[in-house]
Structure 1
Amino acid sequence: MARGALYRVPFRRRRMGLTNYKLRRGLLLSRKPLLVLRKTNM
Protein backbone atom coordinates (compact mmCIF):
# COMPACT_ATOMS: atom_id res chain seq x y z
CA MET A 1 0.00 0.00 0.00
CA ALA A 2 1.27 3.48 -0.87
CA ARG A 3 2.41 5.58 2.07
CA GLY A 4 3.65 8.85 0.64
CA ALA A 5 6.01 10.53 -1.77
CA LEU A 6 9.65 9.47 -1.80
CA TYR A 7 10.73 12.95 -2.83
CA ARG A 8 9.30 16.46 -3.08
CA VAL A 9 8.63 17.83 -6.56
CA PRO A 10 9.75 21.48 -6.96
CA PHE A 11 7.33 24.22 -7.99
CA ARG A 12 6.45 24.18 -11.68
CA ARG A 13 8.02 27.61 -12.34
CA ARG A 14 11.20 26.44 -10.59
CA ARG A 15 11.29 23.29 -12.73
CA MET A 16 10.83 25.36 -15.89
CA GLY A 17 13.59 27.75 -14.80
CA LEU A 18 11.29 30.79 -14.91
CA THR A 19 11.46 31.92 -11.28
CA ASN A 20 14.42 32.24 -8.95
CA TYR A 21 12.67 32.01 -5.59
CA LYS A 22 15.72 33.13 -3.58
CA LEU A 23 15.85 36.39 -5.54
CA ARG A 24 12.06 36.73 -5.39
CA ARG A 25 12.04 36.33 -1.61
CA GLY A 26 14.75 39.00 -1.30
CA LEU A 27 12.72 41.40 -3.43
CA LEU A 28 9.57 40.81 -1.40
CA LEU A 29 11.36 41.27 1.92
CA SER A 30 13.04 44.49 0.73
CA ARG A 31 9.62 46.25 0.76
CA LYS A 32 10.50 48.11 -2.46
CA PRO A 33 7.78 48.75 -5.06
CA LEU A 34 7.69 46.16 -7.84
CA LEU A 35 7.86 47.00 -11.53
CA VAL A 36 6.23 44.35 -13.73
CA LEU A 37 6.66 44.44 -17.50
CA ARG A 38 4.26 42.34 -19.53
CA LYS A 39 4.71 41.77 -23.25
CA THR A 40 1.22 41.91 -24.78
CA ASN A 41 -0.41 43.05 -28.02
CA MET A 42 2.80 42.82 -30.02
Structure 2
Amino acid sequence: MIRKANGKPADVANDPRALADRGWIASGLQLRASLCEEIP
Protein backbone atom coordinates (compact mmCIF):
# COMPACT_ATOMS: atom_id res chain seq x y z
CA MET A 1 0.00 0.00 0.00
CA ILE A 2 1.21 3.48 -0.83
CA ARG A 3 1.61 5.60 2.30
CA LYS A 4 2.23 9.29 2.77
CA ALA A 5 4.90 10.66 5.10
CA ASN A 6 2.39 10.92 7.95
CA GLY A 7 1.81 7.15 7.80
CA LYS A 8 -1.82 7.32 6.71
CA PRO A 9 -2.87 5.46 3.55
CA ALA A 10 -2.70 7.70 0.50
CA ASP A 11 -6.00 8.91 -0.94
CA VAL A 12 -5.35 8.03 -4.56
CA ALA A 13 -8.16 10.25 -5.83
CA ASN A 14 -6.48 13.30 -4.29
CA ASP A 15 -2.84 12.25 -4.68
CA PRO A 16 -1.37 12.80 -8.16
CA ARG A 17 1.86 11.06 -7.16
CA ALA A 18 -0.06 7.94 -6.14
CA LEU A 19 -1.86 7.96 -9.49
CA ALA A 20 1.46 8.36 -11.29
CA ASP A 21 2.99 5.49 -9.31
CA ARG A 22 0.08 3.22 -10.23
CA GLY A 23 0.41 4.27 -13.85
CA TRP A 24 4.12 3.45 -13.93
CA ILE A 25 3.50 0.08 -12.27
CA ALA A 26 0.74 -0.77 -14.74
CA SER A 27 2.86 0.21 -17.75
CA GLY A 28 5.78 -1.81 -16.34
CA LEU A 29 3.60 -4.90 -16.04
CA GLN A 30 2.30 -4.39 -19.58
CA LEU A 31 5.84 -4.07 -20.89
CA ARG A 32 6.95 -7.21 -19.05
CA ALA A 33 3.96 -9.13 -20.39
CA SER A 34 4.66 -8.04 -23.96
CA LEU A 35 8.33 -9.00 -23.65
CA CYS A 36 7.40 -12.43 -22.31
CA GLU A 37 5.03 -12.97 -25.23
CA GLU A 38 7.80 -12.22 -27.74
CA ILE A 39 10.20 -14.80 -26.27
CA PRO A 40 9.70 -18.14 -28.05
TM over 0.5: no
Q: Which has the higher helix share?
A: 2
Structure with larger RCO (C-alpha < 8 A, sep 6+) = 2
Instruction: Mark the structure with the bigger radius of gyration.
Output: 1
Q: TM-score, normalised by structure 1?
A: 0.29
